[in-house]
Amino acid sequence: MGVVLPFEEKSSDPEASLNDLVALVETGMERVNAMILSRTGSDVAMIPEVANHLIASGGKRLRPILTLATAQLCGYRSAEGGRDGDVKLAASVEFMHTATLLHDDVVDESDMRRGRVAARIKWGNQASVLVGDFLLGQAFKMMVEVGSLRALDILSSAAAVIAEGEVMQLGAAKNTETTEDEYLAVIRAKTAELFAAACEVGPVLAERPKSEAAACRSYGMNLGIAFQLVDDALDYGGTSAALGKNVGDDFREGKITLPIVLSFRRGNAEERAFWRRTLEQGEIDESRDLDTAIGIMRRHRALEDTIERARHYGAIARDALALFPDAPMKRALLQAVDFCISRAR
Amino acid sequence: MGVVLPFEEKSSDPEASLNDLVALVETGMERVNAMILSRTGSDVAMIPEVANHLIASGGKRLRPILTLATAQLCGYRSAEGGRDGDVKLAASVEFMHTATLLHDDVVDESDMRRGRVAARIKWGNQASVLVGDFLLGQAFKMMVEVGSLRALDILSSAAAVIAEGEVMQLGAAKNTETTEDEYLAVIRAKTAELFAAACEVGPVLAERPKSEAAACRSYGMNLGIAFQLVDDALDYGGTSAALGKNVGDDFREGKITLPIVLSFRRGNAEERAFWRRTLEQGEIDESRDLDTAIGIMRRHRALEDTIERARHYGAIARDALALFPDAPMKRALLQAVDFCISRAR
């Protein structure tokens, strides 16, 4: 323990990918996917329809992967003697995430989610709220089946913190004067907390000492922050010149993210007036304002520095795992940090 | 056990009130109220504001009262050796109920709740969804603190069933051909399940045998059904001629309740066309249609028979408690059944 291996000294790898991590949890994830499918079942037909619209649309399932991975890292033997605590907790984590997305769409009045029309557009706000509630209930049922009060404590606390973070964000919405610290408090709660909880329940299931649970929690928390910051930068096309097709969603929704926080603070009076008009008053000229916004961000290196901040949290995440001995799973988790950050290039 | 006392043979008491029950749980409810207040606290100011808008607006707090009462009935000694499992579970039950109300208002697009402007009107749909989620998270945290996996199982299952019931209702919305059985399945899930769970966790906390848990669950389930049916009748003024001021809300929202189900089935072609126009197509003439609706209900004795059905479930609730020996708490719980039904006169 505590041995720092050369691998950990390496900075982010341009070839970084999630492949190793995904391969290491492959059989577990098959069982998670089967569990997810069976627990969205209901005689009420609308429930599997709405739930699967979102769940089947993919996403990387990073959160449940992290639960399986940290459990495995800490020596939890799944499927041994019929134990599938990691699979059930991983499925719970994905349900909590899906419930949050369903409720977020209602809160943000979003039309799209993961490249598909949002559930609330197809089935209405009502169905999104209620199916979210159903998934949350099912998530807790699965956790209770696992029977670990510590895991229950971690995940139920996360549920309250996430909702608190979302309300915090609502309060800060459209406020261009949001500070970097305030913004960090929001993403810690609304995004990183679930990553942290997903990683913390692994060692808890394996009944490992507190130091390992704290290490995995710290890994998840900082990975989650880095993940969200990179997402924020990607929404403005990252640092590359080529813009993907989903660029500008945050801008059009008036979301205050770190690139905005940095640009606003570093900007001149004219630029601040631009941010106030577009984000606070919501007066956006679709044809010109996004280009202007990205131009201002480039001038102030706001996207580069957002990714620089992400790299900082990524480094903390990597160091958090230092107390674990070298192993394929540890290497795969370190690589996942590099992957999350290298997405932005 | 199993002794049937004369008191239980009595039919509903016109003087029935909740006073005895309220008096027996008074000190416990003071602690529940303090717990509720402390657990809605948050640095995010909007959370206590929204939560307390609804919680402070009253309501009888029947559900947490039932948790305290059944725990006491089964000999759970609260506050002994610092135990306050009943207080925490009672507060959890109230939080679950409050979260449901907040989400319901969004789903029903209601403007009013408990005689006050609905939270969603004052703070927006977003805040209602998110504060509901926060309260649900806090409810689970409190349950986890109590540490009873059986109680956790009961309440988390209830959360999933309630949401399922709400989605079921959404699917049946505005369908005048809903059968009585279909309607009962909805109210069992969306209303009675929480009453059942609130009552079942009492004996579970007191570590009483399964038969007592089942008895209390049955009492709560049937009381909950009776409670909802009486509410349905009251929304059309009950069987009395004098109409209160909140009469007609269900009608204006196009809600299908038992008085409608009975009236539609018993009605002629012209009456059915009326229900289809007003409830399915939502074409309601505020000045005349409510009177017409009540007139049709009176003609078919739909309100009397809705209350007759409630009386049936009330009788089952009373019989469910028969295995408990006579005691002030048992008498108070039986009286509560009578109270729920006598509200309708």
Backbone angles phi, psi at B111, to 5 degrees: -100, -25
DSSP 8-class letter at B325: P
The residue in chain B having the minimum alpha-carbon distance to the alpha carbon of residue A165 is B44
Instruction: Record the tokens describing residue A344, joined without a space.
Output: 């932005």
Beta bridge partners of A117: A112
Which of A17-21, A168-172, A319-323 is the least confident region? A168-172
* Of the partner residues B126, B134, B152, the one whose CB lies closest to the CB of residue A164: B134
**pLDDT greater than 90 at residue A319:** yes
**Tens of pLDDT, residues A175-231:** 999 999 999 999 999 999 999 999 999 999 999 999 999 999 999 999 999 999 999
What is the three-class DSSP state of B6? helix
Cβ of A153 within 8 Å of Cβ of B141? The answer is: yes
Residue from B108, B148, B156 whose CB has the most chain A CBs within 10 Å, to mutate: B156
Amino acid sitting at position A137? G
CB crowding A108-128: b at 16 or more within 10 Å, else e: bebeebeeeebbbbebbbbbb
- Which of B131, B145, B81 lies closest to B101, judged by CA? B131
pLDDT of residue A124: 84
Cβ of A167 within 8 Å of Cβ of B136? The answer is: no
- Which of B24, B11, B10, B4 lies closest to B333, judged by CA? B24
Nearest chain B CA: its distance from A34 CA (Å): 19
Q: Residue-wise pLDDT tens for chain B (345 aa)?
A: 444 334 433 444 555 789 999 999 999 999 999 999 999 988 888 898 888 887 777 678 999 999 999 999 999 988 777 789 999 999 999 999 999 999 988 877 777 776 677 778 888 888 899 999 999 999 999 999 999 999 999 999 999 999 999 999 888 888 999 999 999 999 999 999 999 999 999 999 999 999 999 999 999 999 999 999 999 999 998 776 555 556 888 998 889 999 999 999 999 999 999 999 999 999 999 889 999 999 999 999 999 999 999 999 999 999 999 999 999 999 999 999 999 999 876
Cβ of B170 within 8 Å of Cβ of A125? The answer is: no
Nearest chain A CA: its distance from B51 CA (Å): 12
pLDDT of residue B54: 76
Residue A42 banded pLDDT, cuts 50, 70, 90? confident
Cβ of B170 within 8 Å of Cβ of A46? The answer is: yes
Measured between alpha carbons, how far is residue B201 from residues A58, A152, A231, B174 in Å? 38, 18, 44, 35
Taken in order A282, A284, A286, A289, the sign of the CA dihedral is negative
Cβ of B136 within 8 Å of Cβ of A131? The answer is: no
Residue A107 banded pLDDT, cuts 50, 70, 90? confident
Residue from A107, A133, A170, A201 whose CB has the most chain B CBs within 10 Å, to mutate: A133
Identify whether the C-beta of residue A40 lies closer than 8 Å to the C-beta of residue A136.
no
Cβ of A137 within 8 Å of Cβ of B149? The answer is: no
Cβ of A141 within 8 Å of Cβ of B160? The answer is: yes
pLDDT of residue B114: 67
Identify whether the C-beta of residue B158 lies closer than 8 Å to the C-beta of residue B189.
no
Nearest chain B CA: its distance from A223 CA (Å): 23
- Which of A98, A81, A124 lies closest to A36, judged by CA? A98
Q: What is the C-alpha radius of gyration for chain A, rounded to an integer number of angstroms? A: 20
What is the pLDDT of chain A when averaged over all its residues? 90
Report the C-alpha gap between A22 and A128 in whole angstroms. Answer: 30
- Which of A235, A237, A203 lies closest to A217, judged by CA? A203
Nearest chain B CA: its distance from A186 CA (Å): 11
pLDDT of residue B329: 98
User: Does this complex have an ipTM over 0.85?
Assistant: yes
Identify whether the C-beta of residue A204 lies closer than 8 Å to the C-beta of residue A89.
no
Beta bridge partners of A113: A116
What is the signed CA dihedral for B84, B90, B96, B101, rounded to 10 degrees? Answer: -140
Amino acid sitting at position B252? R
With a pLDDT cut of 70, the percent of chain A lying above it is 92
Amino acid sitting at position B238? G
**pLDDT greater than 50 at residue A7:** no
Backbone angles phi, psi at A109, to 5 degrees: 55, 40
Cβ of B130 within 8 Å of Cβ of A171? The answer is: no
Cβ of A167 within 8 Å of Cβ of B137? The answer is: no
Cβ of A167 within 8 Å of Cβ of B103? The answer is: no
* Of the partner residues A45, A152, A170, the one whose CB lies closest to the CB of residue B144: A152
Identify whether the C-beta of residue B230 lies closer than 8 Å to the C-beta of residue B310.
yes
Cβ of B134 within 8 Å of Cβ of A47? The answer is: no
Amino acid sitting at position A296? I
Report the C-alpha gap between B168 and B263 in whole angstroms. Answer: 21
Backbone angles phi, psi at B112, to 5 degrees: -125, 155
Amino acid sitting at position B171? G
Which positions in chain A have a beta carbon within 8 angstroms of at least one beta carbon in chain B? 42, 44-47, 103, 106-107, 125-127, 129-131, 133-134, 136-138, 140-141, 143-145, 147, 149, 152-153, 156-164, 166-168, 170-171
* Of the partner residues A152, A159, A170, the one whose CB lies closest to the CB of residue B136: A159
Nearest chain A CA: its distance from B133 CA (Å): 6
Which residue pairs from B293-299 have beta carbons closer than 8 angstroms and sit at least 24 positions apart in sequence?
B293/B236, B293/B248, B293/B251, B293/B263, B294/B236, B294/B237, B296/B263, B296/B267, B296/B271, B297/B236, B297/B259, B297/B262, B297/B263
* Chosen CATH of B6-342 out of 3.30.1490.190, 1.10.357.10, 3.40.30.10, 1.10.600.10: 1.10.600.10
Q: What are the DSSP calls for A275-291, one per residue?
A: HIIIIIS----TTTHHH
Cβ of A134 within 8 Å of Cβ of B106? The answer is: no
**Tens of pLDDT, residues A64-74:** 999 999 999 99
* Of the partner residues B127, B140, B171, the one whose CB lies closest to the CB of residue A170: B127
Name the residue ranges covered by the structural domains of chain A: 6-342
Backbone angles phi, psi at B109, to 5 degrees: 55, 40
- With beta carbons under 8 A apart, name residues in chain A contacting B160: 134, 137-138, 140-141
Report the C-alpha gap between A44 and A137 in whole angstroms. Answer: 15
- With beta carbons under 8 A apart, name residues in chain A contacting B141: 153, 156-157, 160
- Which of B50, B43, B137 lies closest to A182, judged by CA? B43
- With beta carbons under 8 A apart, name residues in chain A contacting B130: 103, 107, 163, 166-167, 170
